[in-house]
Amino acid sequence: MVDQSSNAAAESLIAPGRLALSLSYKGTAYHGWQSQNNDLPCIQDFLEAAISKVANEQVEVVCAGRTDKSVHASHQVVHFETTAARSAHSWVFGCNANLPKDISVSWVGAVSEDFHARFSAIRRRYHYLIYNYPVRPSSFFDDLTWCYDPLSETLMHEAAQTLVGYHDFTSFRAVGCQSKSPFRHLDFLNVRRFGHIVMIDVQGNAFLHHMVRNVAGVLMAIGANSKPVSWCRDVLEAKDRTKGGVTAQPHGLYLTDVHYPGAFGVCGSSGAPSIIQSMLQMAAYNDAKFLEAPWDLSRSTK
């Protein structure tokens, strides 16, 4: 007689080979994704240690996109090689049992040998959240960037459309950026307001080092009326980082999605962490009473 429970258990095992994994993390306590071969805490080190413990062997991972110090992610993707056979449940919950509470694995699955977490990705999406109010926040202060100057999301969105498409983004890359080419394609770049929070939503084939934060810095200057809308095009066409103004703070920046061809079978993302999902789902919401005078601190709340 066949033991069906044993067969079910065997079938649930993921065979050894190349595996892909998706995870989320709050980047505040870390010096970025990439291991730095020192005592500074980096997300890669914690993830590799957790996977290695579950696999009972040393494992190294390759990620879809290296995030900077204090930058968050809701759908980072990595791949790794292993000789261990574990169920998806064992991989996910075993890793999470050995990870800090601000790093969480959500999916693990087998992929073909030609899958590469970085080079197989065809699109990446980021969200940047700005708390736009004169008084600094006491909650979520490391999840949002605070800007006390009034921002016009309408001007920011208008300026942002200059960057959509295929361009040379030299003016928006870090001086130390190691990419061989400054050319990138942006599918869309939208700016919306949700009460006191302004959200920048951008998707492209790939991004240069500090590119999203440099874009945010330019758009915030325009939104604060420090620069005209046309300045965004001027910066782009200058192809000179020194013309682009300040790099926005890392707080509030999230890697929210990485897309791969469907043939690889990599689990997709719902697009954003819950706070951003809620705002996207309520994009049409317009509470005039809440929005009517966000800069009048004396306004009655009755």
Active site residues: 68
Kindly state the tokens that stand for 260: 């791969």
> Quick check: 246 and 140 in contact, CB under 8 A?
no
The alpha-helical segments, DSSP class H, found in 82-162 are: 88-97, 153-160
In sequence order, the β-bridge partners of residue 23 are 76, 105
Query: Closest Cα partner for 164 from 136, 188, 148, 140?
Result: 188
> Quick check: 78 and 21 in contact, CB under 8 A?
yes
Is the sign of the CA dihedral 111, 113, 114, 115 positive or negative?
Answer: positive
Distance set, CA 278 to CA 130, 222, 261, 271, 302 (Å)? 15, 26, 27, 11, 26
Rounded to whole angstroms, how far apart are CA atoms 213 and 252? 10
Is the sign of the CA dihedral 84, 90, 92, 94 positive or negative?
Answer: negative
Rounded to whole angstroms, how far apart are CA atoms 283 and 292? 17
CA angle 144, 147, 151 (to 5 degrees): 115
Phi and psi torsions of 201, nearest 5°: -125, 115
Rounded to whole angstroms, how far apart are CA atoms 218 and 232? 7
